[in-house]
Amino acid sequence: MKKLTMWTRKSGQALVEYALVLALIAIVAILVVKAVGTQTASTFDNIQSTMNSQGLPAVTPTAASS
């Protein structure tokens, strides 16, 4: 019976460690997606500004193209 208690305790500890690693990976993934999204939006804003300054009309996306 004592072996079962030790095994369960180690199993529970491993589960907590896996949960912490998964949470850390999720946090890093969210931060990366936010950073890439911000950079992408900034790039498209710069392209639109350049096009507008050269006299090209601004094109707004429609439901079919988004």
Within-domain flag for 55: no
For residue 29, the enclosing domain spans 1-43
Task: Kindly provide the b/e burial profile for residues 41-60, where b requires at least 16 CB atoms within 10 angstroms of the residue's own CB.
Answer: eeeeeeeeeeeeeeeeeeee
pLDDT for 31 = 95
Within-domain flag for 63: no
Identify the three-state secondary structure at position 57: coil
Under the banding of pLDDT at 50, 70 and 90, the label for residue 21 is very high
pTM: 0.52
pLDDT for 33 = 93
Q: What value does the mean pLDDT of the chain take?
A: 80
User: What distance separates the 2 farthest-apart alpha carbons in the chain?
Assistant: 81
Q: How many domains does the chain have?
A: 1
Quick: pLDDT tens for 34-62. 989 888 888 888 988 888 888 877 677 66
Listed residue (29, 63, 31, 61) closest to 44, CA to CA: 61
